[in-house]
């Protein structure tokens, strides 16, 4: 995989940002046996999830741009690569799997627990570039000094 993917967040290529159209892909991300109607939740962040493209659509416009991209453990990092393996577009978005549970303990102290849905569906906006080959999904994990990009999975666009 491209070594540049694991460096600091790079801005998207200017040609990709000036596309005349946006390709939106409908993605289903799941782990475990439950479906989207399942009421079960995982108390850990699952890597190696199954991803599939449920549909695609094209609309006029440009894909969203982040003014000051920053990584966080509450985000998914989404990277589109072309047929040559070069990064074409990068964007982060709130992790659609993530739920927060806030409870109090016996002393009244607030405790926050992260829960992850077993299955979610969401849309990702990309430049409408016919050379796009796949989309990679990463979960940023803070090590105490830097972010490690943990692969969640990928989808083929061809």
pLDDT digits (tens, 9 = 90+) for 99-157: 877 888 888 888 888 888 888 999 999 999 999 999 999 999 999 999 999 999 999 99
E-only strand ranges, the chain: 21-30, 41-42, 50-60, 75-82, 87-94, 98-104, 110-117, 119-127, 132-142, 147-156
**Confidence at 19, pLDDT banded by 50, 70, 90:** very low
| Residue 131 within any structural domain of the chain | yes
Domain enclosing residue 121, as ranges: 22-156
Task: Report residue 105 CA to chain centroid gap.
Answer: 33
The phi and psi torsions of 153 (rounded to 5 degrees) equal: 165, -170
Q: How many domains does the chain have?
A: 1
| Residue 10 within any structural domain of the chain | no
Q: DSSP assignment of 75-109, as one string?
A: EEEEEEEETTS-EEEEEEEE-TTEEEEEEE-TT--
| Residue 15 within any structural domain of the chain | no
């Amino acid at each position: 995989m491209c070594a540049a993917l694991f460096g600091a967040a790079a801005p998207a290529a200017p040609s990709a940002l000036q596309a005349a159209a946006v390709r939106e892909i409908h993605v289903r991300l799941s782990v475990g046996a439950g479906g989207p109607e399942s009421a079960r939740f995982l108390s850990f962040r699952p890597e190696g999830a199954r991803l599939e493209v449920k549909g695609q659509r094209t609309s006029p416009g440009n894909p969203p741009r982040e003014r000051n991209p920053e990584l966080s453990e509450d985000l998914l990092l989404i990277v589109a690569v072309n047929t040559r393996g070069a990064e074409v577009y990068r964007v982060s978005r709130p992790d659609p799997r993530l739920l927060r549970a806030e409870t109090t303990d016996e002393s009244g102290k607030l405790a926050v627990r992260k829960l992850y849905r077993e299955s979610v569906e969401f849309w990702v906006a990309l430049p409408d570039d016919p050379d796009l080959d796949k989309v990679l999904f990463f979960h940023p994990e803070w090590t105490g000094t830097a972010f490690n990009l943990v692969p969640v999975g990928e989808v083929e666009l061809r």
